[in-house]
Structures are given as C-alpha cells and as structure tokens.
Amino acid sequence: MKKILYLSVIALGVLFQSCDKKEVSTKDYKDASLSVDERVEALLPLLSLKEKVAQMRIFHANIGVKSDKDGKLKLSQKVIKKLEIGIAGIKNPGEHIHPVAAAKLNNELQKYIIEHNRWGIPALFVTESYNGVDAEGCTKFGRPIASAASFNPELTRKVWDVVGKEARLRGMHMCHSPEADLVRDPRFGRMSEAFGEDTYLTTQMVTNAIIGVQGNYEGLGKGTHIGAVAKHFAGYGQVLGGTNFAAIEISERTLIDEIYPPFEAAVKDARTLGIMASHGDLNGVASHGNPELLTGVLRDHWGFNGYVVSDANDIGRLHYFMKVAETPEAAALMGLTAGVDIDLYAEDAYALLPEMVKKNPEIEKLIDRSVKRVLRTKFILGLFDNPYVDIEQVKKEVRSEASLNLAKESDLESIILLKNEKNTLPLNKNKAIKIALLGPLVKENTKAMFESVTGANIKFVEEKGFHLTNENKGAPSLLKRDPKAIAKMLAIAKKSDLSILFLGGDEFTSKEAFFNNAIGDRATIDPVGPQDELIEKIKALGKPVIVVLKHRRTLSINTISEAADAILDTWDLSEFGDASTARIIFGEVSPSGKLPVTVPRSIGQLPYHYSMKEINYKKGYLFVKDGPIYPFGFGLSYADFKYSDIKISNSTISENTELEVSVTVTNTSNIKAKEIVQMYVKDEIGSVTRPDKELKAFSKIELNPKESKVVTFKITPNMLEFTGIQMKKILEAGDYKVMIGASSNDYLETTFKLIK
C-alpha cells in the first residue's frame, strides 16, 4: 500500500499538469481581475528551471540582510547572488530592529527583490510567534502553553489576531507557528511552544490561533494579517526520551485519534496556508520523505492546498543524518516526491534540482507542482498587487494600548492557583506589611511591577540570590550551590512578614536543542539548583511562603508543593507577567486558569497524561504515591464553586441523534469569579482498549456572588468515534459515562448508551 501511495505522488504531478483550465495569456499574471489559480497558471510557464527552483527555497536574513548606519538596506554579496533569480522567501528580516525600522527595511528589501528578478515576483518574509511576534518592539504575549491554561479559545484568537497584524505591519507575511503538536513529555525542551497534552484543547487553541493570525483568512488578501504554518507534522512532541531529533514511535491508532486532529482542524477549519514537516521520523519513516503523510493524509484525505515547508535543513538530513537516502540528490528527490514544496536554508538539497532535471526531466513536473503552491500563496497574500508596508500605520498600530491591555488580560486568565492553604491568598494591599521577593526567577523589574499594583502601603525587599545556570545560550551548565546567596535571602525573609518565592525554570533550563551542540532537553524534571533547599529553609522560619512558579516545562514540584502555603503557576507570561501576578496575589482578580498538562510526581511515571488507557492506572510504583501531584484541568479559585444537578436529555444516542447534558454551577462565595466547566466522556467497554477519559468540551463562565448558572453541553456522534480493529473510524454501540466538573478528577457523572 505504501508503494502505491508513493508512486501516486508522481501521478499527482502529472495530473496537476493535465487538468483542464481556462486559457490565459502568460502576460496576464499581473491582472488582479483574474482568479488566483489563473494568475498562477499564467506565470508558471514564464519561469526558467532555475527561477522555479528559486521559488522553492528560503534563506535566513542573517547571511547578509541588514541596515547600514543610515538605516538603508545593505545586502551581502551572497544575498545579492541569491536574489538574481528571485526567492521563495527570507526568514526573519529586520527581527532585531524597531518595527518602523523593520518596515522600512522590508519595503526596501521587497522593492529590491521585485526589481531584480525578471518577472517581479515578491518574496515571503517569514517570522515565528512564541511570545507574540518573535521580533524587536512587538507586543510580548505569554507563550502558547500559558495561553492554553486560560481554556479560552476566543481570547487566544484575539491574541493571535494582534500577532497577525503586528507581523504584517512590520512587513512579514508568514509565521512558522503555531504548533499543533501534543506535548506529553516534559523532558522535551520545546514544551512551552505548544498548547498542552490534550487533543481537544490543542485543537481548539490551534484552530483559533490560525484563524486569528490569518484574520479569519480574509485578512490575508487585505494585507492586514499573515499566513500560518502549522507544525510539526506529525508527532514531533513525542520524541523518544524527550530529546530533540530522536525517533518517534506512535501507533497508527494513536496518530489518527489523538495526534492528527489538531492538524486536520488547522487544514479544514482554520485554512492554514502552510504546514511544516517534522524533524523526526514517524515509526521508521523520515517525515520529510514520507509521501503517505505529506501527500496521502495531508492532501488526499484532508484536501490541503497550501505549501509544505521543511524544517531547517531537514531535506539534506535525509541523507547525512536520517540516512534514508544514499546521496544528497536522492534526498532532494525523496523530499520533493513526498510533497515538501519549500526547502528551508539548505544548500545541499533543492539547490541541486536544476542539475538533477538535466538527467531526469520528469522531475520538473514535481517542481512545477511545488512552485504553483508557493506562487498561489503569494497571490493569496496580495503581494503582487500590494507588496509594501504603510509606515504610518506601523507607528499607530504596533504595541497599541489595546494590544498591551490584551496581553494583560491573557495573563490574568492564564494564571493557575495550585494551592491556597488557610486562604493565604489573596493578600490585603491596604495592610502595611513587609514582603520579601526572593529567588532565581526574580526579574530586574519585578519589584517595580509589584509596587505599581500595591502602592505605598506594602514595602518590598527584592533579592534574586542566584542564577539557575551560567546562561550559556548553547549548552548551559548548572552552577555550584552558593551558601552566601541562600543565607542572604534567609536574612531578608527573617525581617519580612512573608516571602514570595519566584521559582521554577527559565529560557536556559528549557529550550530548543539545535542541531549544532545546543542542548535544551532534560533527563530529569526536578527543579534545578538549590530551589528545594531554599523553600524548605524559608518555610522553617514559620512565616507564610507564597510561590510564583515560572517555567517552560512541567516540573515535579514535590517539595515546593509540600512546603508552600500558596502556589501560583504562571508558566511564561507576557511582558506584564509580574504585574499580572501581583494583581492576582492582592485580589484584584480571582485566578481562573487550569492546568493544560498533568503534573507528575516523578520522571519515572512518564509517559503520563490524564487520557491514558485505563489499564495504565492499574499499578503504581514502589515508594512513590500513586497519581500526579496535580491533575490535568486542575486550578483553584478565590471563590468556591458548587456543582450540582447533572442532567442528560436522553438515556440513549444513535448515529443520527445528539444528547444534551447539563450541570448547575453555583458561586457560593462573596466575590465575582470565573470557572472553567469541563466535560469528559469515557467509553466503558470498547473493542480496542480505550482512554480512561477524554475531554470533549469546556466552557469558561463568570459568576457573581451567590449566582448559579446551568451549563449545557452537546454530545454528538462524532465525539464518540474512534479507530477500530480494522483501522477505520467507527461508532460502537455500548455504555458511556459523561463527567462534568472542575478538573479531570473532580466531577459529577451520568451515563448513556449508544444504540445502533
């Protein structure tokens, strides 16, 4: 079957050439009244082979695109040579300069590109988006996993709408984001780039991120937004051992039921313009050379019509790293045949195609197929008709007050209250006390941000104490324990009424492990350095201890969880993160975030996510308490919520009917607060082993003091589908349990039957 699929890719190339199309003169590609496809068909025959291949390559701006001392475009000879015949795109031009300067640079760069290739073909300028636009001077939002903690897809859409606008204003057109991967192994250094461990939550977040960044697709042609490239297709977050570039082993059933859905929704519902292939292999087949994945699943089954871009240098790596291609030329043909349209960065892959065509002219049909996809993207983005940025708009709209306020709002909805013994929080800002702000995650402006929230009544003393690592960007090393630093923090804590400890991890303890000697994954998930020692010693002083947990990967915070009186899990928030945290601590807003991942007690429990098969929970481990420290979906509030009166509209469902299930949620306290109501479904008996439970819906509601609301969810047949023994999607008759509550282990339940 795989051989048939592999050969069908070449057949697709021939078919693409032979489809009936309206006859269009080649001079008409600049005619905006024609359809996108007509303009593509008009332009393609004009291009020489080398010009076509140039439209299949992206290089990084760091090889020689910059501004001189007067702010004028300066290109290296290497870049000038590359641009003689055009280019698909350039990564990160102007990323380290102010948005206005970047917009001017990118206007000049685009003008140069258009004027220096025969057909005036513009280039795609590409960015990434992990904390908003990854470029100087744009609004800095929280990372995707912090956004996922909000359980608020509409808010995520608004955030990414700003990302799309700010990127386009500085002259960008595409972003290699968002990540549709599931992250279930906290050893993996890139965990915070994705939206968590759950298929449904990730699907909702990714879909809304793409709709936002693309301006509901309409913003692409209007020139107000950029295109998304969902990544990494597929299974990249599941690398063995949690190490970047390692093998990926996922059963076909898990792929279909859990890993694929966020990508499928990105294609079908959000209409993503691009897909990036995964660094890794997938069950032994290198993703960049996998026609069954990149053409069979992505295009034949899902109908994707955008472009597929390689991850950095990964087509060439089919030869020298994956070792599935005998030569660089074989690697290039493998990637092209599989369906990779754009080669990112490499000089040893698609750069070889012109010479390869001389020996095998049939390859040009595949080249034409890819070039059409790239040109189509450029026409959709309106770059042939409106390639430049309005500088005055950049000044008005980048980092607007509304965007900065949105970053703060997103923070407030993402902060998770994990523990609050004896109602330690919220603190009273009107009570004159002295507070110690201590620990390695204290920032230069932490004290100022707290003071901006509390005013003059509270006195803050700040001391970072120690760094977690030597902060080497490539391969950071742990530092020796510094007893003087710990003693200094203890002395401050003794003279204070309470301590707020900023603990966890940072951008050096969790990061991408690049190909060349950069390490970012970890073999343990305990907090690094003497953080546990610090909290134990300060706790021994007998004064309240509040922990603000900052991190980019899940940590096994056993000691912290035991010792702290209160814990706020903030992941990695926006540029206003510490001020938002202070607002929560001092009760301006009740926390409403929930965990988008399970927090294990030990690395030895991995793999460990809430939706594992029920049989995984049969046995625990010697000398370790069963269960996680905190379960998926968990998060406390300053309010108390009571769940009651669960009802279901019918005791049965069929393949042609739906059910409604409802629950009453009451705010029994005296403050207004938000709660995330979660619905899980469990297939009691399946023909294949089934997950213990699966999140199928959630709703974030706000309740006034003493207010009650009835929250209603629909259960539809497609929610109950799964891949059966014959590897086909099925609906299986039998008993189901539905659970509605505050987390994956705190709920009310009822049952229904699926009948056929």
Q: At what angle do helices 363-380 and 36-43 cross, to 10 degrees?
A: 130
| Alpha-carbon span 167 to 165, nearest angstrom | 5
Q: Identify whether the C-beta of residue 599 lies closer than 8 Å to the C-beta of residue 556.
A: yes
| Alpha-carbon span 588 to 582, nearest angstrom | 9
Q: Identify whether the C-beta of residue 167 lies closer than 8 Å to the C-beta of residue 226.
A: yes
pLDDT band at 25 (very low <50, low <70, confident <90, very high): low
Q: What is the pLDDT of residues 337-359, one digit of tens each?
A: 999 999 999 999 999 999 999 99
Spatial neighbors of 522 by CB under 8 A, at least 6 apart, are 187, 189, 242, 509, 510, 553
**Across 327-335, average pLDDT:** 98
Q: What is the pLDDT of residues 256-270, one digit of tens each?
A: 999 999 999 999 999
Residue 734 has pLDDT above 50, yes or no: yes
pLDDT band at 9 (very low <50, low <70, confident <90, very high): very low
Residue 417 has pLDDT above 70, yes or no: yes
Residue 21 has pLDDT above 50, yes or no: no
Q: Which pair of tokens denotes residue 343?
A: 């080669």
Q: What is the pLDDT of residue 26?
A: 60
Handedness of CA 417, 420, 423, 429 (dihedral sign): negative
Distances (CA, A) of 578 to 159, 511, 529, 583, 656: 19, 21, 22, 9, 50
Three-class SS state of 607: coil
CA 64 to chain centre: 29
Q: What is the pLDDT of residue 22?
A: 47
* Residues above pLDDT 90, as percent of the chain: 94
Q: What is the pLDDT of residue 4?
A: 35
Q: What is the pLDDT of residue 23?
A: 55
Q: What is the pLDDT of residues 222-236, one digit of tens each?
A: 999 999 999 999 999
**Across 89-103, average pLDDT:** 96
| Alpha-carbon span 186 to 182, nearest angstrom | 11
| Alpha-carbon span 273 to 384, nearest angstrom | 17
**Across 570-574, average pLDDT:** 98
Q: What is the pLDDT of residues 578-591, one digit of tens each?
A: 999 999 999 999 99
Q: Identify whether the C-beta of residue 595 lies closer than 8 Å to the C-beta of residue 630.
A: yes
Q: What is the pLDDT of residue 11?
A: 40
Q: Where are the strands (E) in 321-429, listed by range?
A: 343-344, 416-420
Residue 608 has pLDDT above 60, yes or no: yes
**β-strand pairing of 659-667 with 641-648:** antiparallel
Q: What is the pLDDT of residues 490-523, one digit of tens each?
A: 999 999 999 999 999 999 999 999 887 899 999 9
Residue 542 has pLDDT above 90, yes or no: yes
**Across 307-312, average pLDDT:** 97
Q: Identify whether the C-beta of residue 55 lies closer than 8 Å to the C-beta of residue 374.
A: yes
- Residue that wins the pLDDT comparison between 311 and 13: 311
- Residue that wins the pLDDT comparison between 8 and 175: 175
Name all domains of the chain by residue range, CATH numbers in brackets.
49-120 (no CATH), 415-617 (3.40.50.1700), 641-754 (2.60.40.10)
| Alpha-carbon span 192 to 469, nearest angstrom | 19
| Alpha-carbon span 754 to 756, nearest angstrom | 7
pLDDT band at 69 (very low <50, low <70, confident <90, very high): confident
| Alpha-carbon span 473 to 110, nearest angstrom | 32
Q: Which pair of tokens denotes residue 727?
A: 């590897």
Spatial neighbors of 197 by CB under 8 A, at least 6 apart, are 182, 183, 184, 596, 597, 598, 609, 610, 611, 632
Q: What is the pLDDT of residue 12?
A: 41
Q: What is the pLDDT of residue 452?
A: 96
Q: What is the pLDDT of residue 10?
A: 39
